[in-house]
């Protein structure tokens, strides 16, 4: 909660002013000893006496500052400062005049007072109707669980964005390092294949690329071409998942786009998805229906080197 720090001065050293260092975005930094170790910034409120005319070394009466409410120096040092830039209009970037600053101060204080009043009012009401801490614990758990579900449904990018926003970059990195599995994901070994087919592929590339993915994923991936002749495979091609039962499933999910998308395009998936997500509906053909295969990953619907047409 933001409030005028009326009780701060008594807990601070005798000096009633403290130098504030300005940053380029118009906010300022509380010097060492007067802010949390994480160095959160607090905007200044130019209400009261100022000394000096050097923009980089204003002095500000702390009794008039807008900051988290603290009752002693320890709380002041441990507090997380609310970022609040008063020097520039956040919409236009123009310098605020004194009238605008006073208006901003009044708006912030009014909002803080309303929030304080709402908290007290709701707390009083909860006590009157008999809502207990245990009831609130269950309610808060449900609310937080719902928010967590929304975050988790957004995938890794949403989850990591939340971690960085909530914990900060340094702590988020440490948490992610601790979160690493003892053994890497099986598909980690093929992460270099993203976009590897963006400029096309032939039967040799298919055997190399789909062969590696098959080995890493545990699924057998094959490529079915339109035809095979003396020059090799050709025509259009389609990827399938071949099962041990001798069936072909259409390839679905993100793997195709992950392989064939431009690696510099942000719309190209960064991960091919779980192997289970690649298995689509059954195809209208089986490997036995196809007259040509190279013994590895390539098949063809028509083999023009044979006299018999395709049975597919």
Does residue 159 form part of some domain? yes
More confident residue, 31 or 242: 242
**Dihedral sign computed on CA atoms, order 180, 186, 189, 192:** negative
Residue-level pLDDT at 103: 62
Domain-located, residue 167: yes
Residues 210 and 274 in one domain: yes
pLDDT score, position 184: 72
Residue 132's pLDDT is 84
In a shared domain, residues 197 and 174: no
Q: How many C-beta atoms surround the C-beta of residue 209 within 10 A?
A: 19
Q: Using pLDDT thresholds of 50, 70 and 90, give the confidence band for residue 170.
A: confident
Q: To the nearest whole percent, how much of the chain has pLDDT over 90?
A: 33
Helix axes 155-167, 133-153, angle to 10 degrees: 130
**Residue 83 belongs to a domain:** yes
- Note whether 138 and 101 are same-domain residues: no
Where does the pLDDT of residue 150 fall: very low under 50, low under 70, confident under 90, or very high at 90 and above?
confident
pLDDT value of residue 217: 94
Q: Looking at the predicted structure, is the pLDDT value of residue 157 above 60?
A: yes
- Inform me whether the pLDDT recorded for 278 exceeds 70: yes
pLDDT at 117: 80
Confirm whether 157 is domain-assigned. yes
* Same-domain check for residues 87 and 8: yes
Query: Contact, 29 vs 20, CB < 8 A?
Result: yes
- Same domain? 151 vs 244: no
Number of domains in the chain: 3
* pLDDT at residue 212, rounded to an integer: 97
The pLDDT tens digits of the residues spanning 180-222 come to 777 677 888 899 999 999 999 999 999 999 999 999 999 999 9
Q: Are residues 97 and 6 in the same domain?
A: yes
**Residue 132 half-sphere exposure toward CB, CA atoms < 13 A:** 3
For the segment 4-51, what is each residue's pLDDT rounded down to a tens digit?
332 233 333 333 333 444 444 444 444 433 333 333 333 333 333 233
Q: Is residue 308 part of a domain?
A: no
Residue 100 is predicted with a pLDDT of: 54
State whether 160 and 207 are in the same domain. Answer: no
The per-residue pLDDT for 107 is 67
Looking at every residue in the chain, the average pLDDT score rounds to: 71
Q: Are strands 248-251 and 298-303 parallel, antiparallel or unpaired?
A: unpaired
Percent with pLDDT over 70 in the chain: 63
- Domain that residue 172 falls in: 132-180
Residue 269, pLDDT > 70, answer yes
Q: Do 160 and 232 fall into the same domain?
A: no
Cβ pair 14, 52 in contact under 8 A: no
105 and 10 together in one domain: yes
- Mean pLDDT in residue range 141-156: 81
The answer to whether residue 312 sits within a structural domain is no
- Sign, CA dihedral 289-290-291-297, equals negative
Q: Is residue 120 part of a domain?
A: no
pTM of this prediction? Answer: 0.47
92 and 10 inside one domain? yes
- pLDDT at residue 247, as a whole number: 96
Tokens linked to 97: 């005049």
Are 275 and 242 part of one and the same domain?
Answer: yes
Residue 245 scores a pLDDT above 90: yes
Instruction: Report whether pLDDT(173) > 80.
Output: yes
Q: What is the pLDDT of residues 62-114, one digit of tens each?
A: 333 333 333 333 443 333 333 333 343 343 444 444 455 556 556 666 777 77
């Amino acid at each position: 909660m933001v409030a005028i720090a009326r009780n701060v001065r008594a807990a601070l050293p005798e000096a009633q002013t403290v130098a504030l260092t300005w940053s380029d975005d118009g906010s300022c930094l509380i010097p060492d000893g007067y802010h949390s170790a994480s160095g959160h910034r607090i905007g200044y409120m130019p209400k009261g006496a100022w000394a000096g005319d050097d923009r980089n070394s204003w002095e500000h009466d702390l009794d008039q500052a807008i900051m988290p409410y603290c009752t002693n120096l320890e709380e002041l040092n441990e507090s997380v400062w609310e970022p609040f830039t008063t020097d520039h209009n956040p919409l236009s970037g123009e310098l605020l005049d004194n009238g605008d600053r006073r208006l901003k101060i009044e708006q912030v204080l009014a909002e803080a007072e309303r929030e304080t009043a709402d908290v007290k009012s709701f707390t009083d009401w909860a006590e009157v109707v008999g809502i207990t801490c245990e009831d609130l614990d269950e309610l808060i758990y449900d609310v937080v669980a719902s928010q967590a579900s929304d975050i988790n449904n957004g995938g890794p990018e949403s989850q990591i964005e939340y971690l960085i926003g909530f914990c900060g970059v340094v702590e988020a990195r440490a948490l992610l390092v601790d979160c690493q599995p003892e053994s890497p994901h099986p598909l980690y070994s093929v992460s270099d294949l993203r976009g590897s087919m963006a400029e096309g592929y032939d039967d040799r590339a298919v055997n190399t690329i789909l062969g590696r993915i098959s080995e890493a994923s545990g699924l057998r991936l094959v490529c079915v071409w339109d035809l095979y002749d003396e020059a090799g495979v050709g025509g259009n091609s389609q990827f399938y998942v071949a099962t041990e039962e001798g069936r072909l499933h259409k390839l679905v999910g993100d793997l195709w786009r992950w392989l064939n998308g431009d690696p510099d395009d942000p719309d190209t998936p960064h991960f091919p998805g779980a192997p289970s997500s690649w298995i689509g509906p059954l195809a209208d053909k089986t490997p036995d229906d196809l007259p040509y295969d190279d013994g590895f990953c390539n098949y063809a619907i028509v083999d023009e080197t044979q006299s018999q047409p395709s049975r597919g």
